[in-house]
Amino acid sequence: MPDDYAPRPTLVIAVTVVWGVLLVPALLGAALSPMFFDAPGSMNNPAAWVNALIVVAFPCLCVLSIAGSWVVWAWRKRHPTRFYAGAQIVVALLPLLPVTYVVAAMVVETAGVIASGQPLGLHSTIIRH
């Protein structure tokens, strides 16, 4: 790497734009996350707590990813020889953790419904046996 090498902030700007735009609906979702506990007894339901935490984690991870990407980029600019290339990508992709959970939960739930023989889109409580 030449001595006058200065990393371009292309990835950091892309991270800032993408996660910054998605932060607005994520904050709305986080504000509505207490609705997971509307049903009687849902305060004792671990799934409600996990889902609420996942919804709240997304905007937090968006902010952390934006700030962390700029910090890693600045550190890389100051110390180009000691930089691990994957660190910037890992920090940039932090908000994908809750997204991955939601996608996996949807796949598992859909597979469970298909395996049960129940018609898609109909809850078992509205089907008369």
Give the pLDDT confidence score for residue 6 in this predicted structure. Answer: 64
Give the pLDDT confidence score for residue 13 in this predicted structure. Answer: 94
Q: What is the pTM of this model?
A: 0.78
Distance from C-alpha of 127 to C-alpha of 129, rounded to nearest angstrom: 6
**Helices marked H in 1-129:** 10-32, 46-78, 85-92, 96-116
Give the pLDDT confidence score for residue 117 in this predicted structure. Answer: 74
Q: Lowest mean pLDDT of 29-33, 115-119, 125-129, name the range.
A: 125-129
Give the pLDDT confidence score for residue 96 in this predicted structure. Answer: 96
Distance from C-alpha of 124 to C-alpha of 79, rounded to nearest angstrom: 59
Average pLDDT on 32-58 reads 93
Query: Any idea where the domains of the chain sit in the sequence?
Result: 10-126
Q: pLDDT confidence of 115, banded at 50, 70, 90?
A: confident
